[in-house]
Amino acid sequence: MQVESILSLALGLIIFSFIITGVLVVPFIDLLYKLKITRRKEAPKQGKIPLFDKLHDIKAGTPVGGGLLIIGSVSLLFLLLFPFASHMGVYIRSAFDFRVELFLIFFTFISFGLLGLSDDLIKIFGRPKQGKMGLWYGITRKSKFVLQWLLALFIGYVLNKRLGIEIVHVPLVDLTLNLGTFYIPLSALFIVTFSNAFNITDGLDGLASGLLVICLITFGTIAAASLDTPLSLFISLWIGALMAFIYFNIWPARIHLGDVGALSFGAMLALIGLLTGSVVALLVVGGIFFIEVASSAIQIFGWKVLKRPIFPIAPIHHTLLAIGWEEPKIVMRAWLAGMILAIFGLWLATI
């Protein structure tokens, strides 16, 4: 009966979060316009225009920072509603100390969001720097990477030392790896990879946010089945807020997530996989994110080792755009692929 009560409350929270966030989106877009927090043109004023700028400078002028609205609304709604869950017939239960679990959830959600917000503001209001492949906007790649690793290692430490998580289960072959302290760097690698993978994927209108909803529905089901109440309710509020955002984010987008959302949401998705013990399942469910970051890694390998590009442009969704695929077609087909991967990943998580 407990699973049914969690699912009932979770569905109600999705609807409630959708309504609240939906009401806030338009005023928030207007606020971003007033503050001039909008995407800027990045193409050089003289010389050859890079292919990336040719494809994406059309989006210049669109407000950036939808992730900030989602982080704020989900955090506040959870803070207000979670204390009342027990009065709604739901027993607050988790395999972990739920106070530490909640600390990890919101530390990851907010800290990576603040890192992304800093990057967004520097991109918009700061001066570009000359990089190896043209002008560079925002925090330097090296600085951002180091900060991501510091945050991720701290999260991995809490997972391992405070929650006692040190096992990775590999389904199909029924292999369980007890990693001990080595779980910390592995979990950090997982978090950093997904944070960057989500950021790379968030290049077309609705692509990353739609794929994320598919992933969250899958892991919301897993969390509810494992009777992890705090995580189930958090995921529900997040799904509702994302669905309201996607209405304004699909092509042609009226608002973008920005790095404030992309870095936070990728790291948070990885944390959910770690908390549910479904690391392998998340690699499948979030397979499109993995393909996107892998295509960028292959492109970097081509430039550095072979001294030539492997793809016309990376990541892979940019290549599809460059060869003539329409943006909505790429997004819809990625969503369909994400659904199939989600079903397969959910099956893996149940065996």
Rounded to whole angstroms, how far apart are CA atoms 260 and 64?
Answer: 9
What the block records as the tokens of 179 is 């990693």
Residues 177/165, Cβ–Cβ less than 8 Å: no
**Residue 199 counted as an annotated binding residue:** yes
- For the chain, give percent helix, strand, coil, nearest 5: 70, 5, 25
Instruction: Check residue 31 and report its DSSP letter.
Output: H
Q: Is 178 annotated as a binding residue?
A: no
Pairing of the two strands 175-178 and 129-131: unpaired
130: its two tokens: 């000359």
Who contacts 253 (Cβ-Cβ below 8 Å, separation ≥6)? 59, 62, 205, 206
The angle at the Cα of 197, spanning 191 to 201, to the nearest 5 degrees, equals 150
In contact, 80 and 13? CB cutoff 8 Å: no
CA distance 193 to 294: 10
Cα 244 to chain center, whole Å?
A: 16
Specify binding-site residues for Mg(2+): 199, 259
What residue numbers does the annotated binding site cover?
A: 199, 259
